[in-house]
Structure 1
Amino acid sequence: MTTERIATSDTPHATPSLLQLIWLASPALPIGGFSYSEGLEAAIDKGFVHDEHSAGQWLVDQLHLTQSRGDMAVLAQMVVAWQAKDISRLATLSQWVHATRETAELRLQSEQMGRSMLEWLRNLNAIDADTIALCNGWVPTYPLMFALALSRTGAPLDQCLQAYAFGWAENMVQAALKSVPLGQNSGQRILTQLAQEIASAVQHAMQTTDDTRQAFSPMLSILSAQHETQYSRLFRS
């Protein structure tokens, strides 16, 4: 008895869009997301976050106040611009992202994860030399590079943003587990709470325009700045 192996392509283009989104949302993506808490560790140090309830509330607030109004909104616009090959629009949006990183840690996170994302795409032969040169000519921020990856999946925009948001949620919950600290069941309850909020956050992000997109979270910026000199820490932000 013999079996025949169905020929497949190793290129990302041959991978169904759903699998590509799951891949991009995975914490195993080698871009360093696990090493950042985005101010959560500083919030724990100051006593704002200290248990499961406060950790869940903090992350839900960040989903709606910083992600949905800012990064997810600009990400949605970037995906559309990448698909249209609107270079001028991409340059403008990329500048906005870089300008809204209010502390050294947040800026370094965006740049490091962006460069790692670009390198991952290059290693997969997922982008051509012209695109690589174009990205290197800008500051390859994480939203810009993640939008490039999303734009290649062919998935609907709302599903692209859902994948991004869930990937962010998983990384942040893992940060909470390590730094509060919390147990695995607590983490799953927080992740459930976040998952229930993602759809509305995505819809808000998709309805946001250049005039309504914003990056205004002063307490988070203060905590991020304080984290730079925090005595004991596990994370880079």
Structure 2
Amino acid sequence: MSRIVKPARPLSGTALLQLIWLASPALPVGGFSYSEVLESAVESGCIRDEAEAARWLIDQLQLALARSDLAVVNKAFGAWQRGDLATIRELNDWVTQTRETRELCQQAQQMGRSLADWLNNRDRADARVAQLAALAPAPTWPVAFALAAAQTGAPPRESLLAFAFGWAENMVQAALKAMPLGQSAGQRILGALSDALPAAVDAAMRLADSERQAFTPMLAILSAQHETQYSRLFRS
């Protein structure tokens, strides 16, 4: 007998608009001020042109984001829906403890706090917002985003796609500021990243807790160098 597959719940227009809002560079969490080491990679000569920038970012998506932050968003999304605060604390601790440099940790915590403040201004009635803000030493960005996405009523996969696209768009903008690239080059890089996002999200959703990892030695080295870089545009 063939197995009956339950159709996926359609994404409502309201939920879609909320996800677009969360992925927007206009969201007041300070994402525009971070390059996530890309600026240091340009300074060191690891990235010199459009092709190398696209390759670098796709590698970062597949080897770093999909294995860590996207996997955390997926787990935290379900935990927020269940009211499983113990798992939320564990995930938040994991993000904090696996940030390999001070500036990467500061980014995760600053953006997490800013999104918690934004959520508090929008919906004080949701007790989970206060739980998010109370996470010690600070709420982190992936855990905070998971709550914001869960509030929209959107399915997990679409929520992860929004998180990943927001990251991709921010990184492309960072590349345009740090390198002599034009808008057309930026759109080509964003197109290549967009093509890679669904597979990265699917891989993140399949990861077991024991498979989640944050092992990016080159990013850690470049981030440590960026902390003392003589001239820079970005906070990380």
The TM-score normalised by the length of structure 1 is 0.91
1:185-206, CA deviations, whole angstroms, 9 ceiling, x for partnerless residues? Answer: 0000000000000000000000
Residues 134 and 161 (structure 1), Cα distance of their counterparts in 2 relative to 1, 3 Å cut: closer
1:103-136, CA deviations, whole angstroms, 9 ceiling, x for partnerless residues? Answer: 0100100111001000111111255356315532
> Which residue number in structure 2 is paired with residue 181 of structure 1?
180
Residues 130 and 44 (structure 1), Cα distance of their counterparts in 2 relative to 1, 3 Å cut: closer
> Which residue number in structure 2 is paired with residue 108 of structure 1?
106
Matches for 1:43-62 after TM superposition, within 5 Å: 43-62=41-60
> Which residue number in structure 2 is paired with residue 233 of structure 1?
232
Matches for 1:123-162 after TM superposition, within 5 Å: 123-125=121-123, 128=126, 131-138=129-136, 139-162=138-161
Distance 1:127 1:33 in 2: 26
> Which residue number in structure 2 is paired with residue 222 of structure 1?
221
Deviation of 1:154 after TM superposition, in Å, equals 1.1
> Which residue number in structure 2 is paired with residue 170 of structure 1?
169
1:45-94, CA deviations, whole angstroms, 9 ceiling, x for partnerless residues? Answer: 00000110000001000100110011101110000000000011111111
Deviation of 1:137 after TM superposition, in Å, equals 3.6
**Count of residue pairs the alignment pairs up:** 224
- What is the letter of the counterpart of residue 173 of structure 2? Q
C-alpha contact 1:103 1:224 (8 A) present in aligned 2: yes
Aligned CA RMSD, in angstroms, stands at: 1.4
- 1:37 corresponds, among 32, 35, 38, to 35
Residues 127 and 42 (structure 1), Cα distance of their counterparts in 2 relative to 1, 3 Å cut: farther
C-alpha contact 1:121 1:127 (8 A) present in aligned 2: no
Distance 2:219 2:198 in 1: 23
- What is the letter of the counterpart of residue 181 of structure 1? P
- What is the letter of the counterpart of residue 188 of structure 1? Q
Deviation of 1:41 after TM superposition, in Å, equals 0.4
The TM-score normalised by the length of structure 2 is 0.92
- What is the letter of the counterpart of residue 209 of structure 2? D
Structure 2: segments with no counterpart, 5+ residues = 1-11
Matches for 1:46-85 after TM superposition, within 5 Å: 46-85=44-83
Residues 116 and 184 (structure 1), Cα distance of their counterparts in 2 relative to 1, 3 Å cut: same
Q: What SS does the corresponding residue of 2:211 show, helix, strand or coil? A: coil
- 2:95 corresponds, among 91, 94, 97, to 97
Distance 1:194 1:102 in 2: 24
- What is the letter of the counterpart of residue 187 of structure 1? G
Distance 1:79 1:48 in 2: 35
Question: Where does structure 1 differ by over 6 angstroms across 4 or more consecutive aligned residues?
Answer: none
Structure 1: segments with no counterpart, 5+ residues = 1-13
Distance 2:218 2:40 in 1: 11
Distance 1:194 1:120 in 2: 28
- What is the letter of the counterpart of residue 157 of structure 2? D
Distance 1:169 1:191 in 2: 7
Residues 180 and 127 (structure 1), Cα distance of their counterparts in 2 relative to 1, 3 Å cut: farther
Q: Percent identity?
A: 57
> Which residue number in structure 1 is paired with residue 119 of structure 2?
121
